Amino acid sequence: MEEIKARLLEVIERTSTIKSFRLAPEKRIDFIPGQFLQVIFDQADRNNKELNKYLSFSSSPAKGYIEFSKRLSGSFFSQRLKELKINNEILLKAPLGQCIFKGEYTKIGFLIGGIGITPVMSIIEYINDKKLSTDVVLLYSNRSDNDIAFKPELDHWQSVNKNVKVYYIVTECEPIDKSCIFGHIDKALVSAKIADLKERMVFIFGSPKMVEAMKEICLGLGCKQEEIKTESFIGY
């Protein structure tokens, strides 16, 4: 892990509240899919949690750029991100995190809530970039259709890769898109959509409450503790 300057190349709107920031680092960052970085806006006070925050890579390490994504709010940190202009430089500390995929698992199950999709994007994009045969099933939960980030990319990947299957779950209103499932990720849904869950390495990303609930479901369905990888996203 080291501190590296990176230049902003592009800002991509994923939903009305989520944006991706693509950057060119001054030198290559050798990160592993699933890892994260720290954006440092306050270099004088590295302990400033309002302005120095951790965000997952949402791009494959095989790309010529790096990307992180954030649900923008009214926070000081979000405001600084909104103020960034193309070619502005920011300071990053990377790579960080051990909830990773190096290509070693033949089957993966993802139980994901909201902005927890960001490291999943890095992992699935890496699988496609490297043409790996990894079998992936993703259950991705959001409040409404409009909150589903990266849907075009996920739809494309499952259209070109028969080993990638994505299920969109909408929790708070009847989805406009009838391919989405109205409800919650519960034991019955997991059993129905990932019948071979016990054969998979399971990644769970989301809010602390969601992560704990998904972990209980997996353990209740017979998954081993060591075959469940979790990351809780706080204050995103």
**Residues 84, 118 share a domain:** no
Q: What is the arithmetic mean of pLDDT over 98-120?
A: 96
**Residues 179, 114 share a domain:** yes
Q: What is the DSSP letter of 175?
A: -
Q: Is 12 strand, coil or helix?
A: strand
Cβ atoms of 23 and 87 closer than 8 Å = no
Q: What is the arithmetic mean of pLDDT over 32-54?
A: 96
The two structure tokens encoding residue 37: 């970085």
Which residues touch 4 (CB under 8 Å, ≥6 apart)? 25, 26, 27, 29, 91, 92, 93, 94
The two structure tokens encoding residue 232: 């809780």
Q: Choose the final residue of a domain: 96, 117, 145.
A: 96
- Preceding amide of 95 cis, omega within 30: yes
Confidence check: pLDDT of 210 > 70: yes
State the pLDDT at residue 4: 97
Q: Choose the final residue of a domain: 61, 96, 131.
A: 96
| Domain enclosing residue 127, as ranges | 107-232
Average confidence score pLDDT of the chain: 95
State the pLDDT at residue 49: 93
Confidence check: pLDDT of 44 > 80: yes
pLDDT one-digit tens code per residue, 129-167: 999 999 999 999 999 999 999 999 999 999 999 999 999
- CATH code of the domain in which 73 resides: 2.40.30.10
pTM as predicted: 0.94
Q: Is the dihedral of CA 219, 224, 226, 228 positive or negative?
A: negative
Confidence check: pLDDT of 179 > 90: no
Q: What is the arithmetic mean of pLDDT over 68-89?
A: 96
101 occurs within a structural domain: no
102 occurs within a structural domain: no
**Residues 89, 6 share a domain:** yes
**Residues 59, 22 share a domain:** yes
Banded pLDDT at 235 (limits 50, 70, 90): low
